[in-house]
Structure 1
């Protein structure tokens, strides 16, 4: 059996992972503690989610992001690195699709 996850960041959400199956044993959105990944990977994904929240002007969410181009570039780079590590740790029984729009 192959497990499918979608990878993207969402305002106000503390995980970037969303199972295709609404009844997933991993939760919807995905509970990072339930995944068979290293604690360091969990911590990095949580850190990225927290960082992502600072990309939103919470006083006026529809306004442009307060991030500079450099901060956006750095975030994208670190998010892609975390995605690569996640895929490697989950292994062949998992498919993680990058659906981030950054």
Structure 2
């Protein structure tokens, strides 16, 4: 059986992982602790999700991001590295689509 996850960051959400199946045992969005991944990868995904929240002007969310170009570059770099490590840890039987638009 193949499991399918979507990877993207969302305002106000503490995980970048969403199962394709709404009835997934991993939650919707995914509860990181339910996935067969290391505590280090869980912590990194949670850290990135928290960091992402700073990309939003919470006083008026349609405003441009308060992030500098450098901060956006660093975030993208670290998010892609975390995605690759996640894919390695999950291994065969898992497909993780990158829908982050980063």
Question: Which residue of structure 2 aligns with residue 94 of structure 1?
Answer: 94
Q: Tell me the TM-score normalized by structure 2.
A: 0.99
RMSD: 0.4
Normalising by structure 1, report the TM-score.
Answer: 0.99
The list of structure 1 runs, each at least 4 consecutive aligned residues, that deviate by more than 3 angstroms after superposition, is none
> Which residue is 1:62 aligned to?
62
User: Partners in 2 of 1:50 and 1:101 — Cα distance?
Assistant: 18
Aligned length: 102
Q: Give distance in 2, aligned partners of 1:26 and 1:50.
A: 20
In structure 2, what is the Cα distance between the partners aligned to 1:24 and 1:16? 15
Structure 1: state its 5+ residue gaps. none
Q: Distance in 1 between matches of 2:89 and 2:46?
A: 16
| Residues 5-50 of structure 1 deviation map (CA, whole Å, 9 limit, x = unaligned) | 0000000000000000000000000000000000000000000000
Aligned to 1:20: 20
Counterpart position of 2:11: 11
**Partner residue in 2 for 1:45:** 45
